[in-house]
Amino acid sequence: MQPNPSLVFFAFIRLGFALFCLPVLLAEAPRAQHVFIVSFDQAAPFNIEAASMPVFKKLATEGAHTWEAFTIVPSLTLPSHVSMLTGVGVQKHQVTWNDWDPAKPILTVPTIFQLARTHGLSTALVASKEKFKTFEAAGGIDFFELPDDYLCDGIAAAAIRAIKATRPNLMFIHFGDPDFAGHLHGVRSQEKLAALAACDAAFGRIQAAIAEAGLADSSVFILTADHGGHDRSAEENELRAKRGLAPQPGTHGDATSDDVTIPWVAAGKSVKSSYTVTAPVLQYDTAATALWLLGVPLPAHFWGRPVVSAFD
Ligand SMILES: [Zn+2]
Ligand SMILES: [Zn+2]
């Protein structure tokens, strides 16, 4: 028996329609239109507890938080931020150095900026260390700025310019001040607590600019850090002196809990209120959470998983 040609025709039409719809069905609807990842460099949870940070603490209390998220080892600024912003561990991204060196290879895994922009979203990065040129070199960033003095007032001014000019869908903001103070004066020093307080005030101005731009109701903040820190022993500083290096009270890079334990806070649209995250949160989960919130499909190579328990 010959198949009815009109039934075959309609079967093909239906198959074609189903295939056309498939990508739409697979891509999840965005949960937020804007995600702001804010990294406070060397902000260990024990520092945040001790510092005057009313803006940070209000978001932590009202949103979802854990004081026991973990960064990667080595707990160093560039490898950690590459994990935070690419969704994979150091064994996968292979960035083991901690400085800007144009001779070093460009990132071999895509950043969340590249992935978001492929999806038609706008991106911005404002940071207070030259090593963040690593992300600029990888591409996918619409607004990139390293303020001249690398301090939090300049960071806030640049971030506010970016928000007003580009209303970015995905923005990363880095405050270096606590790390500078922690190395120079000790990881629990008054100078470091003052640096954290200054960054918190600067962050408050950025938050106000986001509200002024009308983005508050459609935004999620993720507040976190690249690593914690510990004070060097007297013996370590004696060894440094023998090698002609200046004494440096504070450091990080190890696998000790003081070095690897970081804060993780989500606040804003669709975030559970006053919720304590008990699921494990790892450095690369920030990348996964940001993409998931923005409705960008997670690449198969990702190690990070969205912190779904923090959201309604
Ligand atoms: Zn750092
Ligand atoms: Zn440091």
Structural domain total, the chain:
1
Residues 294 and 169: their CA atoms lie apart, in Å, by 8
Check residue 183 and report its DSSP letter. H
Tell whether 301 is covered by a domain.
yes
Tell whether 1 is covered by a domain.
no
* Ligand 1 centroid, distance to 42 Cα (angstroms): 5
Q: What protein residues have CB closer than 5 angstroms to ion ligand 1?
A: 41, 77, 179, 226
Tell whether 174 is covered by a domain.
yes
Tell whether 280 is covered by a domain.
yes
* Ligand 1 centroid, distance to 248 Cα (angstroms): 15
* Ligand 2 centroid, distance to 298 Cα (angstroms): 30
Q: What is the CATH number of the domain that holds 50?
A: 3.40.720.10
Tell whether 18 is covered by a domain.
no
Tell whether 17 is covered by a domain.
no
- Helix H or strand E encompassing 260: helix 257-260
Q: What's the token pair of residue 249? A: 């009270």
* Ligand 1 centroid, distance to 179 Cα (angstroms): 6
Tell whether 12 is covered by a domain.
no
Tell whether 5 is covered by a domain.
no
Q: Which ligand is nearest to the CA of 181?
A: 2
Q: What is the pLDDT of residues 134-182, one digit of tens each?
A: 999 999 999 999 998 889 999 999 999 999 999 999 999 999 999 999 9
* Ligand 1 centroid, distance to 227 Cα (angstroms): 6
Which residues pair with residue 95 across a beta bridge? none
Q: What is the pLDDT of residues 39-88, one digit of tens each?
A: 999 999 999 999 999 999 999 999 999 999 999 999 999 999 999 999 99
* Phi-psi category of residue 205: left, alpha or beta, with phi > 0 → left and psi -120 to 50 → alpha: alpha
Q: Which ligand is nearest to the CA of 78?
A: 1
Per-residue confidence (pLDDT) for residue 235, from 0 to 100? 92
Cβ-based neighbours of 144, under 8 Å, separated by 6 or more: 124, 125, 126, 135, 136
Residue 235 lies in domain: 29-310
Q: What is the pLDDT of residues 239-287, one digit of tens each?
A: 999 999 988 999 999 999 999 999 999 999 999 999 999 999 999 999 9
The number of C-alpha atoms within 13 Å of 220 and in the hemisphere containing its C-beta is 28
* Ligand 2 centroid, distance to 125 Cα (angstroms): 19
The CA-based dihedral angle spanning residues 111, 114, 120, 124, taken in that order and rounded to the nearest 10 degrees = 80
